[in-house]
Amino acid sequence: MVQTRPPQVPDAPQRPDDAHKGTFGTVCVVGGSATMIGAPALAATAALRGGCGLCRIVTGAELIGHCLAIEPSATGVELAGDADRAAVDGFINSLDDKCVLAVGPGMGVGADQQVKVAALLDQARPMVLDADGLNNLAATWGEVDGIGCALVVTPHPGEYQRLATAMGIDGDAVDAAGRPDAAAALARELEAVVVLKGMHTVVSDGERQYLNGTGNAALATAGSGDVLTGLIASLMAQGMAGFDAAVLGVYLHGRAADVWARAHGRSGLTARDLAGLIPDVMEAHRCGK
């Protein structure tokens, strides 16, 4: 079965022969907690499979070794779970300009994490915010000083509802007919790209919109969202704008699940399997297949 490429889906980043790992940018995955060690590691795996040159997992010192055992191609950066604003600012100042942040996988929710998310939003490097990153933002929306970065948010309907309620947005993230308007309303309020996950995931920047047609029920598996977060961040690190990276990331993420379903059916897909399929579907897309 050959999939027809939708005209809205952009080209994949090219891979010049004279490139080095710095050419393709760095993704820093900020997350992890004692009971969710796998989430940032899966996001890192997806980022590397998506083509970024370097990936760092930013988490507590006690978690770094566990995360790198899952994804040894990444490196670790210590940022304590209870890091204060000064520590977060120190981490931000250590980053190079080509770094993209992927914030939230496995982070947990609480006052310390809310300080971290607020500080990371108030800096200039591009960011993908997912999972508990979104939940921490929703819990403290009225106290957020501002958003200084090019931002992509990737909520599922529950995360959308928590954030929309906190922001005073009346949107329906479940009803198929209302989902595009719901995504656009949040995008306009945040001045961000919104990836509203679900059947026919919606990507919106408040003006442009993409309704995804790839994917199937195999994606209903733990860690699938972490893979999408890492993939979108990777595409941004390679120079794609947030909206284009989100559209391509969502399309490839779903297409990888479609490849799995044709071979194995719509069950049994793990997040690690999903990440492993990214290079093949990206190369097929790059070749126009």
- Boundary residue ending a domain (119, 143, 167): 143
Are 139 and 29 part of one and the same domain?
yes
In a domain, 4, yes or no: no
For residue 289, give both structure tokens. 């297949």
Are 171 and 260 part of one and the same domain?
no
In a domain, 218, yes or no: no
pLDDT of residue 97: 84
pLDDT of residue 130: 98
Examine the pLDDT at 173 and tell me if it is beyond 60. Answer: yes
Phi then psi dihedrals of residue 95, to 5 deg: -85, 145
Whole-angstrom Cα distance, residue 200 to residue 203?
10
The mean pLDDT value of the chain amounts to 96
In a domain, 235, yes or no: no
Q: What is the pLDDT of residues 272-282, one digit of tens each?
A: 999 999 999 99
- Is residue 233 within 8 Å of 57, Cβ to Cβ? no
Structural domain for 270, as ranges = 251-289
Phi then psi dihedrals of residue 195, to 5 deg: -110, 100
Residue (of 196, 218, 198, 207) closest to 265 by Cα position: 218
Which CATH number is 95's domain given?
Answer: 3.40.1190.20
Are 160 and 135 part of one and the same domain?
no
pLDDT average, residue stretch 171-181: 96
pLDDT average, residue stretch 17-45: 98
147: left (phi over 0), alpha (psi -120 to 50) or beta: beta
pLDDT of residue 67: 99
Are 86 and 182 part of one and the same domain?
no
Examine the pLDDT at 217 and tell me if it is beyond 70. Answer: yes
Percent of the chain with pLDDT over 90: 94
Are 58 and 138 part of one and the same domain?
yes
Are 175 and 272 part of one and the same domain?
no
- Boundary residue ending a domain (85, 109, 143): 143
Residue 3 banded pLDDT, cuts 50, 70, 90: low
Whole-angstrom Cα distance, residue 183 to residue 180?
5
Which alpha helices (H) appear in 110-204, and where do they start and end? Answer: 111-121, 132-139, 157-167, 179-190
For residue 93, give both structure tokens. 């100042």
**Positive or negative torsion for Cα 79, 85, 89, 90:** negative
- Boundary residue ending a domain (143, 167, 200): 143
pLDDT of residue 1: 41
Q: What is the pLDDT of residues 52-92, one digit of tens each?
A: 999 999 999 999 999 999 999 999 999 999 999 999 999 99
Strands (E), 1-136: 26-30, 54-59, 75-78, 99-103, 127-129
Examine the pLDDT at 6 and tell me if it is beyond 90. Answer: no
In a domain, 61, yes or no: yes
Are 34 and 75 part of one and the same domain?
yes
- The structural domain count of the chain equals 3
Examine the pLDDT at 185 and tell me if it is beyond 50. Answer: yes
